[in-house]
Amino acid sequence: MKVKQLIICVVFSLTSSFCFAQISKQEKKITSIIDSNNGSALKLLEEAVNINSGSMNFEGVYKVGQIFKARLDALGFKTQWVDGKPFGRAGHLVASHTGKGTGKTLLLIGHLDTVFEKENSFQKFTMVNDSTATGPGASDMKGGDVIIIYSLEALKQAGLLKDMNIIVVMTGDEELSGRPLELARKDLIEAAKLADIAIGFEDGDSNPATGVVSRRSSSGWELNVTGIPAHSSQIFTPAIGAGAIYETSRILNEFYEKLSTEKDLTFNPGMILGGSDITRDKVLDGGSAFGKGNIVAKQAVVTGDIRAISPEQLKKAQTIMQQVVDSHLPQTNATLTFDEGYPPLAPSAGNFQLLDYFSKVSTDLKLGKVTAVNPRNAGAADISFTVGYVDMAIDGLGLMGGHGHTDKEYANLNWLPRQTKRVALLMYRLTQNPTIKNR
């Protein structure tokens, strides 16, 4: 090694023990393979996008899963389709590869479903120009699934996959999770228990200069309020009190006053019904309400979500919200319930170390430094279920694009080979780095 390269390596090792002075001969071989395979990768992306796999289109989700299953079978993985009937969804694709080496076990996470059901008009992969394609799931996240397949393909063609221990989980219900969540995420959690490092292939904030080392939780809450119905002339009297709508307004206002300045915490009341009589549609999270200006409201219901950066922040927020609810206005009553949801992926030293490794790969490929995304710019995702089981986790390593969950969703095709190279080299280096201890 040249003296200048040695100095660079020593300096970098002060912040990370993951030091490669430049792209090695073996790594150049990997990147060359990815370039030669890019046309095939584009065809696979188009094929997958053109199959509708809205979360509730079980046949479509299964069909997309079988396409990726066949590719993983060909790579030597032991694959399994997990039937989703117990949790009311299509199911999941789970695949494992046991290598001859003793390196770390990597868990690669994707999902097969999209938010676009069969009834949606947005159905087809369309080339806008030579570097942009639109289509349902192009970036969220069939592009990420394709990156998983072609990074593994490059490692196999380079003769390296045989030594690697890898688990792939592609869920079929990330966009609309099955219930109970305990069953819907059982296979992902079991995979995380066997892994050392988790890598998620969502598109993050669609910025190649960022990676996701923390995600906020996502769960729901429901507030039910009752009052005493009466002629409006009797409101505020000792016998009638404040009514359900005033009590609801008090609670929501105090939620805002007590918690709105908490960093990285959000709690949104998204639906409210109130009046003398309400009819609730829980499936559509809506309904109808009847009331008159001269009648004190009998009942009200509010539903919303809450997102927190850590389990501790979530617990604190829920405790404060419950305390607010318990302080009733006269002659009213209220109950607050929280449902199961996605846990937070709290920032950790291991996650930031993994981000450093990925950033080093990116700079060695001359694709720029990678920093942590603001967690307010990234929603909940399946990687959060690996918390407590893996030593390191990073997400947002999928295909860059934009306008996710809309009929303008697009993928930046220039980043398909670039991101595949970054991922393949990251996986290779992680399995070669002796300073990352195995379990």
What is the residue-wise DSSP string for 53-107?
Answer: -BTT-HHHHHHHHHHHHHHHHHTT-EEEEEE-GGGTS-EEEEEEE--SS--PEEE
pLDDT digits (tens, 9 = 90+) for 240-269: 999 999 999 999 999 999 999 999 999 999
Tokens of 2: 């040249």
Q: Residue 159 — left, alpha, or beta (φ > 0 → left; ψ -120 to 50 → alpha)?
A: left
| pLDDT value of position 379 | 83
- Banded pLDDT at 52 (limits 50, 70, 90): very high
* Residue 104 near residue 197 (C-beta atoms within 8 A): yes
Q: How far apart (Å, rounded) are the C-alpha atoms in residues 48 and 424? A: 21
Please list, residue by residue across 226-257, b when 16 or more beta carbons sit within 10 angstroms of its beta carbon and e when fewer do.
Answer: bbbbbeeeebeeeebbbbbbbbbbbbbebbee
H helix and E strand count, the chain: 10, 18
How much is the pTM?
0.88
Phi, psi of 195 (to 5 degrees): -100, 160
Q: DSSP E strands: which ranges in 382-430? A: 392-394, 401-402, 410-412
- Banded pLDDT at 171 (limits 50, 70, 90): very high
Tokens of 136: 């349902």
Above 90 in pLDDT, residue 282? no
Above 80 in pLDDT, residue 439? no
- Banded pLDDT at 130 (limits 50, 70, 90): very high
The 3-state DSSP composition of the chain as helix, strand, coil percent (nearest 5) reads 40, 25, 40
Torsion sign over Cα 74, 77, 78, 80: negative
Above 70 in pLDDT, residue 12? no
Torsion sign over Cα 45, 50, 51, 57: positive
* Residue 231 near residue 292 (C-beta atoms within 8 A): no
Above 70 in pLDDT, residue 435? no
Strands 286-290 and 219-226: unpaired
Tokens of 366: 């001359």
| pLDDT value of position 436 | 62
Above 50 in pLDDT, residue 14? no
Above 90 in pLDDT, residue 35? yes
- Banded pLDDT at 283 (limits 50, 70, 90): confident
Can you tell me the mean pLDDT for 414-418?
98
State the Cα angle at 72 between 70 and 75, rounded to 5°: 115
Question: Smallest Cα–Cα separation from 262: which of 307, 196, 217?
Answer: 307
Q: How far apart are the first and last CA of the chain?
A: 32
Phi, psi of 372 (to 5 degrees): -75, 135
pLDDT digits (tens, 9 = 90+) for 314-354: 999 999 999 999 999 999 999 999 998 999 999 999 999 99
Above 80 in pLDDT, residue 195? yes
Query: What's the whole-number average pLDDT of the chain?
Result: 93
Q: How far apart (Å, rounded) are the C-alpha atoms in residues 304 and 154? A: 44
| pLDDT value of position 146 | 98
| pLDDT value of position 9 | 45
Tokens of 322: 């419950």
pLDDT digits (tens, 9 = 90+) for 350-398: 999 999 999 999 999 999 999 999 998 888 999 999 999 999 999 999 9
Answer whether the bond into residue 392 is a cis peptide, omega within 30°: no
